[in-house]
Amino acid sequence: MRRPALGLLKLDLKGIIWMSRLVFKFFKDDALLSSLVHFFEREGFDVVGPHDLMPSLLMPAGVMGNVKPLKKDLEAIALGACAAQSHGAQDRGQGVIVSGTKILAKETSKGTNAMLKSAAKKHDVSNAILVKMMKPQQERRVDLPVIGRETIEKLSTYGYKGVSLEAKNGLILEKEAVIKEANEKNIFVYGYKRET
């Protein structure tokens, strides 16, 4: 998913004031999004997440579809989830690519698709898994990790084994279509439940 260029924004006086406040903050996704949410709340808006309106978008725990991860895949997912949370705590991204006991790549501001492509050029990804987790400090109403049909298409194109999205803290778009395509492409889709 491409982010709009900030240069395209047309700001009124309130927008200019709000944007100038951001200059004094660490200019990272979470700071920006949290500031934006709080700005709208101060203006009297109720900010809700898409999952508040459509709870069915939330990723359930466990296997989605007919392709099941092996025990070694579940172990790799647990490792990837820890790495993704650590990476997310630094506000650098929500996803990592894991294969066995190795982290092959970490998401950057370029996004998930760029990470998938880059890792596939550098590594054998036939046993690799995309793991996406909500950042620990993240404003939950905005920018939850997401997968959709495009994710499955990219995983298939580059030869990945599966994808894991954090259960209840990630969104799955077009769930039925994702499951159908994942089944056809022999890719597993797994909802990882964070340990408390």
Q: According to the model, what pLDDT value does residue 24 have?
A: 43
Q: What pLDDT, on the 0 to 100 scale, is given for residue 25?
A: 47
pLDDT at 26: 45
Q: 125 exposed, middle or buried (CB, 10 Å; 0-12, 13-18, 19+)?
A: buried
Confidence at residue 40, expressed as pLDDT on a 0 to 100 scale: 72
Q: What is the pLDDT of residue 70?
A: 98
Between CA 99 and CA 157, with CA 148 as vertex, the angle to 5 degrees is 55
- The pLDDT value recorded for residue 84 is 97
Radius of gyration of the chain (CA): 18
- Considering the domain 51-192, what is its CATH architecture? 3-Layer(aba) Sandwich (3.40)
The crossing angle, in degrees rounded to 10, of helices 149-158 and 112-122 is 10
- Residue extents of the structural domains in the chain: 10-47, 51-192
Residues of the chain with pLDDT under 70: 1-34, 37, 41, 196
List phi, psi (to 5°) of 2. -85, 140
CA dihedral 151, 128, 131, 159 (to 10 degrees): 0
The pLDDT of residue 27 is: 47
Rounded distance between C-alpha atoms, residue 37 and residue 126, angstroms: 40
Q: What integer pLDDT is reported at residue 189 of this predicted model? A: 99
What pLDDT does 44 receive? Answer: 78
Of residues 85, 61, 175, 181, the one with CA closest to residue 133: 85
